[in-house]
Amino acid sequence: MSMKVHQLARGFWEQHEPPSLSLGCKRLRPLAPKLQSETVTSADSVSSFDLKSFIRPESGPRKLHDKKDTTQVETHPGGTRWNPTQEQIGILEMLYGGGMRTPNAQQIEQITAQLGRYGKIEGKNVFYWFQNHKARERQKQKRNSLGISHSPRTPTAVNTISLDTTRGGLLEREEDSPYKRKCRSWGFESLELEESIRSSKEEGDRTLELFPLHPEGR
């Protein structure tokens, strides 16, 4: 019972190209500084060739980057997955650090619009980024907590920077709770379905996480 496929909705998020430049040029450069970029103009060919179905022979050559001289860098024909730039990652982490966990459509749209300045990006990329980042931070934390079976406290105490001064609460908090449904609505055009928006109160938090904290993670 779950669902079947259907693809309908989606379309509107699909990227629109930023204005004109996207800049971000960087890419290449294997190690060290990373700045990838792409200049990929065009592209959006979503059509997809399905090269992937080619299989990957066990060890056969894969994509290597031997194309160095040609004028085009690959251009990756069909399209590939989103490749965030430093700016994009920085902003996303900033948002995450601020407490954002599952942005709703409106927010995704807004974020996407902003990040689009630094490189090609679509709403779904933003959505997935939050999903994955959240999940992986959780794993990471879980791993650590296990590993540290004995430390008295020392959670990751990282920054104790803090600042305090009044306030204490600002936005975040809300680390990830296990289950908390946050609001989102996949509304697509008008259907009649009215979504009830209900909410569940949140958290049941397990594990406390002091802070999202991911200073330099990755």
Q: Which residues inside 43-62 make contact with DNA, applying CB under 7 A? A: 52, 56, 59-62
Among DNA, its own copies, none, residue 208 binds (CB under 5-8 Å by kind):
none
Residues 123 and 112 sit within 8 Å (Cβ to Cβ): yes
CA 99 centroid distance within chain: 14
| Shortest distance (Å) from residue 99 CB to its own copies | 3
**Residue 23 in contact with DNA, rule: CB under 7 A:** yes
Tokens coding 6: 């259907």
Tokens coding 107: 């927010």
How far apart (Å, rounded) are the C-alpha atoms in residues 16 and 187?
20
How far apart (Å, rounded) are the C-alpha atoms in residues 133 and 101?
9
Q: Pick the binder of DNA from 146, 147, 152, 195 (CB under 7 A).
A: 195
**Residue 110 in contact with DNA, rule: CB under 7 A:** no
Tokens coding 146: 């296990």
Q: Pick the binder of its own copies from 61, 150, 157, 164 (CB under 8 A).
A: 164
Q: Pick the binder of DNA from 49, 63, 94, 215 (CB under 7 A).
A: 63
| Binding track over 66-95 against its own copies, x by CB under 8 A | --x-x-----x-xxxxxxx-xx-xxx-xxx
Q: Pick the binder of its own copies from 145, 172, 205, 207 (CB under 8 A).
A: 172
**Residue 171 in contact with DNA, rule: CB under 7 A:** no
Total of chain residues touching its own copies, rule CB under 8 A: 133
Cβ-based burial of 207 (10 A; exposed 0-12, middle 13-18, buried ≥19): middle
| Shortest distance (Å) from residue 154 CB to DNA | 20
CA atoms within 13 A on the CB side of 143: 5
Tokens coding 188: 């697509």
